[in-house]
Amino acid sequence: TTRESLQSNPVSRPQLVCIPPLTQLSPPDKLSFLNAALRACLCQLDQAIIREDDMFPNTPEDEYRKQRTTVRERLNYLVLSTQGEKRVDAQTKDFVDSGTFALKQWVLQVLQDLVHWSNETAETLQTLPAPKAQRQPRTRRATGMMNKNHQTAETCQPSPAAKVKKPTKIRTTTRNKK
């Protein structure tokens, strides 16, 4: 069997997954549409995996299958991590079953769409402002306790609060009642 590889410069074809132009949208809306495109890519990747497994049922577990599983898991993670409050759908073109060569071309197009929409999502995520860490306000007591208990690895000196105090004796006196 001959191994096939993806072209370094893919042939430009119409995409299988389509969403409206993102230029006039707000960042959260862009992310919603990109999430829709990624979800559609994930569905098409799942279909491609099923069709490949049906067409080539006795193929042993090899590097391609491992990479395919890794790509699917990473895409699923990207879909989950870009979900927003707003859910929209992307338009997709279905695969028309017409033989092994057509399946391979379709799988290639699915992978090219996946790369395109993943890159678009990465660029959009980089333009978003970083979320500020939400910290709860500290009380004086909590801050003082933290400072007393905080030690670094370089200065393994016990804090003053950690010194052991000698127990104090309690004096008891008895008074005589008159």
Tens-digit pLDDT profile for residues 20-78: 888 888 888 889 999 999 999 999 999 999 998 888 887 777 888 899 999 999 999 99
Q: Using H for helix, E for strand and C for coil, what is the string for the chain?
A: CCCCCCCCCCCCCCCCEECCCCCCCCHHHHHHHHHHHHHHHHHHHHHHHHHHHHHCCCCCCCHHHHHHHHHHHHHHHHHHHCCCCCCCCCEECCCCCCCHHHHHHHHHHHHHHHHHHHHHHHHHHHHCCCCCCCCCCCCHHHHHHHHHHCCCCCCCCCCHHHCCCCCCCCCCCCCCCC
pLDDT by residue (tens digit) across 70-79? 999 999 999 9
